[in-house]
C-alpha cells in the first residue's frame, strides 16, 4: 500500500469509531436512553470533520480541482442552507433545532450528517474502503448476538418497549430490521471480495444470523430490503459473467417485486405474506403529510413539526378507525416528511442529492471490474437499502448515519483519478526533501483551535440536552412529599426542571401532568399555560389543562381551551363531547346543541355520537 493510502487509512480511524458508537450508544438514567446520545456522538465527529474540512490545504486543493467534489459540496451546501431557512421560520426553535420528542431529527441532525458525508467523500478510496466493511462486520455480529439474547428475554437493559422484544439499540423492531438488512447486503458483498476463506465462512454464518434476527423482529420490510440488496449484487455479479443471465435475473427480480407490491395492496398470491395492517396506517400518515405540504408549500409546517399538525390534517376517517386520541409524530416517509415540515426547497434539494448519489453510484460501478466492482457494489447496495427503507420509515439516526456515510463513499469511489494520485492534489510526486514537509504541512496549526471552538459551540447544545434528559428522569422518580417544607422544595425542583433551556414542549407537558396528578393544581395550570404560550399548537397542553379546570369544577375556564383545541383537532369528537358538557354546565344549551349536531354529522352511529346525543336529553 502506498504512503498516501496508509495516510488515508489513518484518517479514517474516527469514522468507524463514531459509526460503532452511534449504533451502540445507550444513556442509562435518561428520559430517552437512545436518541439524544446518538446525536451527541454525531455532533462530536461532525465538529472534528468541520475542523479538518476548514483547515486542510489538501482538502481545499481537491475541492478546487475536482468537479464532482465541487458538485457534492454545492448540493450539500444548498441543502443545509435552505434547511436553515426552514429552521428560522419554525415557530418552536427547540423543536426545529433538535427535533421533536423521540428521534432528534431537527436541523442539527442534517447539518451534522452533511458534514460527515462530505468528509467521507474526501477521505475514502479503494485502498481504505474495507474499513467500512470491517465496521459493518463487527457491528453486525454485536447487534445480531444482542438480538438473539433479546429474543429469548435475556437483556441487560430494562427497555420500556411496547413492540416486539427485538429492538437492538434502535428503539423499534422496524428500525432494527432495516439496520440489519443494510448490514446483511454489505456482508453478502464481502463474500465476493478478497477476504480469506475463514473470514468468508464467518460472513456466511453472520448472514444467516442476521436474517434470522430480522425474521424474529416480524418486520417484513427488513426481509424485503435484504432480498432487494442481494438481488442487486447478484445482478452486478452476473452482468460481468453473462449478460443474458443477468437480464433474466433482473426480470425475475422485477416480477417478484411487482408481485410483492401487489400483495401489499391485497392483490395476487403474495397477499397473505406481504400485506400488513400497518400499510393502511402509512397511507393515512402520507396523506396527512401531503395535506401539510399543500397548505404550507414553501417552508413547510416547521422542521419536525409533523406531530403538531397531524390532528388538523388527518383524514376524517382516521379517528373512526383508530380512535379520537390517536396521533402520529412522523410521516413515515423521509421524503414526504421533509416536504411537509421543511417545504419544497428543502425537499427538492434532498431529492437532488439522492439523484446525484445514484448517478455517481452508476459511474462507480461502471468504472470498476472484478472484485473491485463487487466491493463498490456492496457500498452501493447498502445505500440502496437505506433509500428503500426511507420510503416507508422514519429517519432514525442509527440507520441514517450509514446512509450518509455510504453516500459519501460512493462519490469517493466514483472518482477514478483520486484512487492513486498523491496528496498534493495535482498528481505530482513530491521532490526529495519536499515529501515530508508537505505531508506534515497537511496538519494545520489552526485545526486544534477550530476544533476547540466547535466543541464549545456543540457543548452549548449538548450540555442543556444532557441536563434535560437526566433532570426529567430524576423528577419523574421523586415521590411527592407530605410536609410543607418538602412541598416547597418539590415545587422548586419542578419549576427548575420545567424552565431548563431547550427542553422539549412535550417534556414540559409531562412535568405539568405530574404536578396535576400529585395535587399541585395551581402549579400545573401555570405550567400548561406557559407551554401553550411557547407552543400554541401543543394539543396535549390544551387537553390536560381543560381537564384540570374541569376537575376543579371550573368548566367556564376550560371552554376557551376546548374551543382552541377544536381548531387544532377538527375531528376530535372526544374533545367536542367534553366541550358540550362544559357548555351544559355553564347553562349555554344552544352552544351545546350546536356541538352535539357537529358530532352527529362527523361520527354518525358511533359510541361517541350516542354519548353526545344522550347529554342533551338529560
Please report the pLDDT score of residue 30 as a whole number.
87
Tell me the pLDDT band of 420, cut-offs 50, 70 and 90: very low
Is the per-residue pLDDT at 429 higher than 70? no
Please report the pLDDT score of residue 584 as a whole number.
96
Please report the pLDDT score of residue 96 as a whole number.
97
Radius of gyration of the chain (CA): 27
Is the per-residue pLDDT at 399 higher than 80? yes
Please report the pLDDT score of residue 344 as a whole number.
98
Please report the pLDDT score of residue 308 as a whole number.
96
Contacts 24+ apart (CB under 8 A), 567-571: 567/312, 568/311, 568/312, 568/537, 568/539, 568/542, 569/311, 569/312, 569/539, 570/311, 570/312, 571/311, 571/314, 571/316, 571/318, 571/319, 571/324, 571/602
Per-residue b or e along 440-462, where b marks 16 or more CB atoms closer than 10 Å to that residue's CB: eebebeebeebbeebbeebeebb
Q: Which residue has the higher pLDDT, 145 or 17?
A: 145
Q: Which residue has the higher pLDDT, 91 or 246?
A: 91
Beta-carbon contacts of 207 under 8 Å, excluding residues fewer than 6 positions away, are: 184, 187, 188
Q: Which residue has the higher pLDDT, 605 or 418?
A: 605
- Angstrom distance (rounded) from CA 136 to CA 182: 9
- Angstrom distance (rounded) from CA 402 to CA 93: 27
pLDDT, average across residues 517-546: 96
Is the per-residue pLDDT at 417 higher than 70? no
Cα atoms in the 13 Å half-sphere on the side-chain side of 320: 12
* DSSP designation for 275: -
300 φ/ψ sector (left φ>0, alpha ψ -120 to 50, else beta)? left
Question: What DSSP letter does each residue of 292-335 carry, written as one string?
Answer: HHHHSTTT-S-TT-HHHHHHHHS-THHHHHH-TT---S--SSHH
Please report the pLDDT score of residue 103 as a whole number.
79
Is the per-residue pLDDT at 4 higher than 80? no
Q: In a 10 Å sphere around its CB, with 0-12 CB exposed, 13-18 middle and 19+ buried, how is residue 34 labelled?
A: buried
How far is Cα of residue 80 from the mean position of the Cα atoms in its chain? 16
- Residue 280 has a CB neighbour count (10 Å cut-off) of 13
- The 3-class secondary structure across 222-246, one letter per residue, is HHHHHHHHHHHHHHHHHHCCCHHHH
Please report the pLDDT score of residue 75 as a whole number.
98
Q: Which residue has the higher pLDDT, 122 or 11?
A: 122
- Angstrom distance (rounded) from CA 182 to CA 334: 17
Is the per-residue pLDDT at 442 higher than 70? no
pLDDT, average across residues 409-424: 66
Please report the pLDDT score of residue 244 as a whole number.
79
For the chain, the average pLDDT equals 89
Tell me the pLDDT band of 262, cut-offs 50, 70 and 90: low
pLDDT, average across residues 556-582: 96
Is the per-residue pLDDT at 228 higher than 80? yes
C-alpha distances out from residue 549 to 324, 453, 526, 567, 584, Å = 21, 49, 12, 19, 15
Q: Which residue has the higher pLDDT, 279 or 552?
A: 552
Task: Evaluate if pTM is beyond 0.85.
Answer: yes
Is the per-residue pLDDT at 424 higher than 90? no
Torsions phi, psi for 550 (to 5 deg): -65, -35
- Angstrom distance (rounded) from CA 19 to CA 28: 20
Please report the pLDDT score of residue 35 as a whole number.
92
What nine digits make up the cell of 457? 459551540
Please report the pLDDT score of residue 257 as a whole number.
73
Please report the pLDDT score of residue 10 as a whole number.
43
Torsions phi, psi for 46 (to 5 deg): -65, -40
Is the per-residue pLDDT at 214 higher than 70? yes
Is the per-residue pLDDT at 433 higher than 50? no
pLDDT, average across residues 470-492: 93
> Is-contact 32 151, C-beta < 8 A?
no
Tell me the pLDDT band of 323, cut-offs 50, 70 and 90: confident
Please report the pLDDT score of residue 443 as a whole number.
63
Please report the pLDDT score of residue 107 as a whole number.
97
- Angstrom distance (rounded) from CA 471 to CA 122: 40
pLDDT, average across residues 144-149: 95
Please report the pLDDT score of residue 271 as a whole number.
72
Per-residue b or e along 531-543, where b marks 16 or more CB atoms closer than 10 Å to that residue's CB: bbebbebbbbbbb
Q: What SS3 class is residue 361? A: helix
How far is Cα of residue 318 from the mean position of the Cα atoms in its chain? 24
* DSSP designation for 368: -
Is the per-residue pLDDT at 431 higher than 60? no
* DSSP designation for 445: T
- CA angle at 110 for the pair 105 and 115, rounded to the nearest 5°: 145
Torsions phi, psi for 314 (to 5 deg): -70, 155
- The 3-class secondary structure across 560-600, one letter per residue, is HHHHHHHHHCCCCHHHHHHHHHHHHHCCCHHHHHHHHHHHH
Q: Which residue has the higher pLDDT, 281 or 426?
A: 281
Please report the pLDDT score of residue 251 as a whole number.
85
Is the per-residue pLDDT at 425 higher than 50? no
Please report the pLDDT score of residue 241 as a whole number.
80
pLDDT, average across residues 513-518: 95
Q: What SS3 class is residue 427? A: coil
For 228-232, 321-325, 344-348, which range has the lowest pLDDT when averaged over its residues? 321-325
Tell me the pLDDT band of 281, cut-offs 50, 70 and 90: confident
153 φ/ψ sector (left φ>0, alpha ψ -120 to 50, else beta)? left
- Angstrom distance (rounded) from CA 233 to CA 180: 17
Q: Please state, for a pLDDT cut of 70, what percent of the chain lies above it.
A: 92
How far is Cα of residue 600 from the mean position of the Cα atoms in its chain? 39
- Angstrom distance (rounded) from CA 510 to CA 310: 20
Amino acid at each position: 500500500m502506498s504512503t498516501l493510502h496508509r495516510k488515508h487509512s489513518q484518517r479514517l480511524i474516527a469514522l468507524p469509531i463514531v459509526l460503532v458508537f452511534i449504533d451502540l450508544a445507550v444513556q442509562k438514567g435518561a428520559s430517552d436512553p437512545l436518541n439524544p446520545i446518538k446525536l451527541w456522538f454525531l455532533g462530536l465527529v461532525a465538529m472534528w470533520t468541520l475542523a479538518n474540512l476548514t483547515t486542510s490545504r489538501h482538502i481545499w486543493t481537491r475541492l478546487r480541482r475536482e468537479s464532482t467534489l465541487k458538485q457534492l459540496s454545492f448540493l450539500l451546501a444548498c441543502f443545509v442552507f435552505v434547511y436553515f431557512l426552514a429552521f428560522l421560520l419554525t415557530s418552536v426553535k427547540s423543536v426545529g433545532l433538535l427535533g421533536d420528542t423521540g428521534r432528534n431529527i431537527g436541523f442539527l441532525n442534517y447539518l451534522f450528517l452533511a458534514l460527515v458525508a462530505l468528509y467521507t467523500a474526501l477521505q475514502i478510496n479503494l485502498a481504505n474502503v474495507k474499513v467500512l466493511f470491517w465496521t459493518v462486520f463487527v457491528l453486525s455480529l454485536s447487534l445480531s448476538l444482542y438480538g438473539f439474547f433479546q429474543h429469548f428475554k435475556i437483556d441487560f437493559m430494562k427497555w420500556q418497549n411496547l413492540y416486539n422484544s427485538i429492538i437492538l439499540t434502535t428503539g423499534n423492531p422496524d428500525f432494527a430490521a432495516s439496520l440489519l438488512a443494510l448490514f446483511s447486503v454489505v456482508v453478502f458483498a464481502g463474500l465476493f471480495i478478497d477476504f480469506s476463506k475463514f473470514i468468508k465462512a464467518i460472513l456466511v454464518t453472520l448472514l444467516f444470523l442476521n436474517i434470522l434476527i430480522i425474521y424474529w423482529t416480524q418486520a417484513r420490510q427488513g426481509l424485503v430490503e435484504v432480498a432487494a440488496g442481494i438481488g442487486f449484487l447478484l445482478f452486478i455479479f452476473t452482468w460481468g459473467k453473462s449478460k443474458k443471465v443477468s437480464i433474466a435475473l433482473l426480470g425475475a427480480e422485477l416480477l417478484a417485486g411487482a408481485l410483492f407490491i401487489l400483495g401489499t395492496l391485497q392483490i395476487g398470491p403474495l397477499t397473505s405474506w406481504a400485506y400488513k395492517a400497518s400499510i393502511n396506517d402509512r397511507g393515512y400518515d402520507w396523506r396527512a403529510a401531503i395535506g401539510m405540504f399543500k397548505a404550507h408549500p414553501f417552508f413547510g409546517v416547521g422542521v419536525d413539526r409533523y406531530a403538531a399538525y397531524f390532528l388538523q390534517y388527518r383524514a376524517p376517517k382516521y379517528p373512526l378507525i383508530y380512535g379520537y386520541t390517536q396521533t402520529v409524530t412522523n410521516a413515515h416517509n423521509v421524503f414526504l416528511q421533509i416536504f411537509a415540515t421543511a417545504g419544497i426547497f428543502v425537499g427538492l434539494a434532498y431529492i437532488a442529492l439522492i439523484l446525484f448519489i445514484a448517478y455517481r453510484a452508476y459511474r462507480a460501478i461502471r468504472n470498476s471490474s472484478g472484485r473491485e466492482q463487487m466491493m463498490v457494489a456492496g457500498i452501493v447496495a447498502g445505500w440502496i437499502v437505506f433509500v428503500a427503507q426511507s420510503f416507508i420509515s422514519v429517519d432514525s439516526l442509527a440507520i441514517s448515519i450509514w446512509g450518509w456515510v455510504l453516500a459519501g463513499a460512493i462519490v469517493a469511489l466514483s472518482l477514478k483519478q483520486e484512487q492513486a494520485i498523491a496528496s498534493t492534489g495535482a498528481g505530482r510526486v513530491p521532490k526529495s526533501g519536499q515529501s515530508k514537509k508537505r505531508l506534515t504541512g497537511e496538519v494545520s496549526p489552526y485545526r486544534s483551535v477550530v476544533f476547540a471552538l466547535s466543541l464549545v459551540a456543540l457543548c452549548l447544545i449538548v450540555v442543556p440536552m444532557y441536563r434535560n434528559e437526566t433532570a426529567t428522569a430524576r423528577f419523574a422518580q421523586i415521590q411527592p412529599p407530605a410536609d410543607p417544607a418538602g412541598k416547597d422544595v418539590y415545587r422548586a425542583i419542578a419549576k427548575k426542571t420545567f424552565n431548563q433551556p431547550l427542553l422539549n414542549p412535550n417534556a414540559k407537558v409531562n412535568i405539568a401532568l405530574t404536578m396535576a396528578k400529585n395535587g399541585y393544581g395551581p402549579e400545573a395550570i401555570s405550567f400548561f399555560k406557559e407551554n401553550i404560550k411557547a407552543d400554541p399548537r401543543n394539543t396535549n397542553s390544551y387537553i390536560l389543562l381543560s381537564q384540570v379546570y374541569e376537575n376543579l369544577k371550573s368548566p367556564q375556564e376550560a371552554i376557551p381551551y376546548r374551543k382552541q383545541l377544536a381548531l387544532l383537532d377538527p375531528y376530535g369528537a372526544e374533545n367536542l363531547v367534553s366541550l358540550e358538557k362544559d357548555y351544559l354546565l355553564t347553562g349555554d344549551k344552544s352552544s351545546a346543541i350546536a356541538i352535539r349536531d357537529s358530532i352527529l354529522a362527523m361520527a354518525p352511529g358511533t359510541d361517541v355520537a350516542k354519548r353526545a346525543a344522550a347529554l342533551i336529553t338529560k
